[in-house]
Structure 1
Amino acid sequence: MISPDRPCAPASAAAGLSPCGDGQGPPPRGVPGAQRVDHLAFTVSDLNAAIDFAVTALGGELVYRLAPLAHADDWMRVHLDVHPRASAEIALVRLGPDTNLELFAYQSPDHTSVPRAPHDAGHVHLALHVMDVARAAAELTRRAGVSPLGPVCRVPDGQPDAGTHWVRLSSPFDAPIELRSAPEVLPYETGGGTPRRRPPGPWCNRDDGTGSQRGLPGALGVDHFARTVADLNAAERFFVDVLGAELLYRNEQKVLPADVAAALGVPPGGAVRRAVLGMGPTDTIELACYEGMSAGNPHPPRNSDIGGNHLALHVRDVDVAAAYLAEHGCIVLGQPETIDEGPLTGDRWVYTRTPFGLYVEVVRMPDGTLPYERTTTARRRAAHELSWTDRTPPRP
């Protein structure tokens, strides 16, 4: 069994299963039995406003909203790393073809209510791939009354993603929304054998291609989820060697022009270094490190803080995956649990905390048999029979 805040038993001993948990043997790198990124999670100050923005402005589909979660004992601290008397409301929204966005709103005696600055450790943003950045930004401003943080920028020549246009806007997620449009083939993709981005779109909110088509004009899907880290090299190594990510490219701007600093929402005169990584068959993660500017907050947010966040992986065996993460420096929060009542009955899950403060949840949900599915046609993005190493065919 896994004890609170202590590493698990070795994977080979967990549940008497093979390290992969599926009988197929472990992948060269990565979490045994991983299938895909299950969801991205943001802690917001106003859950109603965040849901409305995700559905009405971005064109997502509300899949479920759970009753408030609270415990009279130490459960919240042990399993979620928050104050024991904290309570949480949770909703899940399907965004486009691949992304489950989980929204949390906490009431807690000790949470931080001020959102993170972009150069603070643990700051996140969500980026959407659109055909026309200016048009989508104008429509998003009209729909939601949000404001661009700066001008539309173009990645300069000489960078691996040169020719990409982007802009960031405020949002009720208490984290920016970024809109991006990119050339059909980016410069880094022209090298032989180079890993490539997942082709985006078309926008839909169901695995069968049905569901809401109300996305922004020209929206194709979530382009990436981004997180600010203090040590880019260390974070990249963890994502590649432990989580099984695949480095797509690095982008380094050694001196940020004034318009780019404004668009990023950071002090002028500094630099930003990024590592962009493929995560399984459907998702992309961007790690960013800001340098040469006034110091940001070095302490990542907790789950209950405004701007708190986590990343969840769908795996074939939660216990085996948790044991593996513990062996690779993560702290496992409590023991894996299986939900035995309510709309997510059958969901087995556990949180872990990485050495640099990112919470990584491992989860297994029985596709097609969750109780909530009996009362709605809305569907989260399921794992089905995906494997972590599945790849969408590359562009010609």
Structure 2
Amino acid sequence: MLPPDRSCAPASAAAGPSSCGDGQGPAPRGVPGAQRVDHLAFTVSDLDAAIGFAETALGGELVYRLPPLAHADDWMRVHLDVHPRASAEIALVRLGPDTNLELFAYQSPDRTAAPRAPHDAGHVHLALHVTDVARAAAELTRRAGVSPLGPVRRVPDGQPDAGTRWVRLSSPFDAPLELRSVPEALPYEVEGGTPRRRPPGPWRNRDDGTASRRGLPGALGVDHFARTVTDLDAAERFFVDVLGAELLYRNEQSVLPADVAAALGVPPGGALRRAVLGMGPTDTIELACYEGTSAGDPHPPRNSDVGGSHLALHVRDVDVAAAYLAEHGCTVLGGPETIDQGPLTGDRWVYTRAPFGLYVEVVRMPDGALPYERTTAARRRAAHELSWTVRHPGR
């Protein structure tokens, strides 16, 4: 049974801050009824290769693969913001203890097939938390033949995440994969009043604690997902004030050293500014902004472009959440729909588009009663009893 929903409908700006009316003061910031990040979605050029990499190289588990999605009318444009004659194949992979990774492959008359560069707006990457970066990178290279984009590096002293070791590698996701080894306590975490990051692990692909596949050596889970933005302050405000994220720390490098720029895959001489935020009880996002000579294409990709992406939140009421996002500057694509046939019957969902091009889906899944569950032991990471404002659930 789900706990009672204590979220409140948002008040209008004219009415002032909303209140729960229960004597507990103003409602928390964020999407009403949000429980957790439901999934991260990447558009890839080769769906088979991306699924294979997620399973055999990273140790994830394929949960379902849906029949091709296409419509003869205007539905694809209205609901997904893509060409009306676009078609999509969709698969979902459970990646460790907390992450649902949704993979898309589009065929579309106007899609962009070239992956985004790391300094282009809308570029995304995925980072795994491992205990030994060098060992995990060597194993990943052996399993998948991917290439490290430089040596293992250490974040220098004086930074809020000092002591973290990291490396980026190529991947069939058409975006880099980052491996990170994080100290027990980062400098920002020992400063009074600063929220702590959400620790991952241990690696498992099922809520009953079993791991259907062997992950990388020392893999604990997804450390963070990252998105490149053109205006860091505006993007951070949206995530904090509208989505209810929690700022963990900011990291600013006035000029990127040439070797670090090469490891990141960006032109040398520019600056990098980052904001790292907690997203609900289980996830972390890194917003990256490249400035100066490292500034890239300011136009983010569409869903159908290789390198496109979206972020989905699991909520208790999709219609209320969509109305809230519309009030806070997002464009609702079409309107909420409930799937009435197929493996995800009962799923209610809708896409919205933030002012800076981020697609935010709000979804409510009847986990435990979805048709796909009849034919596989694999499971999505469900929201069930989770609450957005409770950190480190069950850890």
Alpha carbons of 1:393 and 1:313: their partners in 2 closer, same or farther (altered >3 Å)? closer
Structure 2 match to 1:356: 356
Structure 2 match to 1:323: 323
Give me the whole-angstrom Cα distance separating, in 2, the residues matched to 1:311 and 1:261. 27
Structure 1 residue 27 displacement after superposition: 3.8
Give me the whole-angstrom Cα distance separating, in 2, the residues matched to 1:190 and 1:158. 13
Structure 1 residue 25 displacement after superposition: 9.8
Structure 1 match to 2:171: 171
Alpha carbons of 1:32 and 1:240: their partners in 2 closer, same or farther (altered >3 Å)? same
Q: What's the CA shift string for 1:154-203, capped at 9, x where partnerless?
A: 11100000000100000000000000001100000001221001122000
Q: What's the CA shift string for 1:204-223, capped at 9, x where partnerless?
A: 00111113241100000000
Q: How many residues are aligned here?
A: 380
- The secondary structure found in structure 2 opposite 1:180 is strand
Q: Which has the higher contact order (CA 8 A, sep 6+)?
A: 1
Q: Is the 8 A contact 2:10 2:32 kept in 1?
A: no
Structure 1 residue 294 displacement after superposition: 4.9
Give me the whole-angstrom Cα distance separating, in 1, the residues matched to 2:25 and 2:254. 42
Alpha carbons of 1:291 and 1:394: their partners in 2 closer, same or farther (altered >3 Å)? farther
- The secondary structure found in structure 1 opposite 2:261 is helix
Matched, 1:119 2:108: no
Q: Is the 8 A contact 1:211 1:378 kept in 2?
A: no
Matched, 1:234 2:234: yes
Q: Is the 8 A contact 1:118 1:124 kept in 2?
A: yes
Give me the whole-angstrom Cα distance separating, in 2, the residues matched to 1:199 and 1:371. 32
Q: TM-score, normalised by structure 2?
A: 0.93
Give me the whole-angstrom Cα distance separating, in 2, the residues matched to 1:277 and 1:166. 19
Give me the whole-angstrom Cα distance separating, in 2, the residues matched to 1:191 and 1:176. 31
Q: Is the 8 A contact 2:339 2:345 kept in 1?
A: yes
In the TM superposition, what are the counterparts of 1:338-377 in structure 2 within 5 Å?
338-377=338-377
Structure 2 match to 1:102: 102
Q: Runs of 4 or more off by more than 4 Å in structure 1? A: 10-13, 23-26
- The secondary structure found in structure 1 opposite 2:336 is strand
Give me the whole-angstrom Cα distance separating, in 2, the residues matched to 1:38 and 1:357. 19
Q: Which residue identity lines up with residue 281 of structure 1 in the other structure?
A: P
Q: Which residue identity lines up with residue 373 of structure 2 in the other structure?
A: E
Q: Which residue identity lines up with residue 54 of structure 1 in the other structure?
A: A
Instruction: Between 148-157 and 62-71, report the one with greater CA deviation.
Output: 148-157
Q: TM-score, normalised by structure 1?
A: 0.93
Structure 2 match to 1:4: none
Q: Percent identity?
A: 88
Give me the whole-angstrom Cα distance separating, in 1, the residues matched to 2:33 and 2:317. 7
Q: What's the CA shift string for 1:37-81, capped at 9, x where partnerless?
A: 000000000000000000000000000000000000000000000
- The secondary structure found in structure 2 opposite 1:335 is coil
- The secondary structure found in structure 1 opposite 2:117 is coil
Structure 1 residue 295 displacement after superposition: 3.9
Matched, 1:85 2:85: yes
Q: Is the 8 A contact 2:135 2:217 kept in 1?
A: yes
Structure 1 residue 283 displacement after superposition: 0.1
Return 5+ residue gaps in structure 2 as ranges: 1-8, 13-17
- The secondary structure found in structure 2 opposite 1:259 is helix
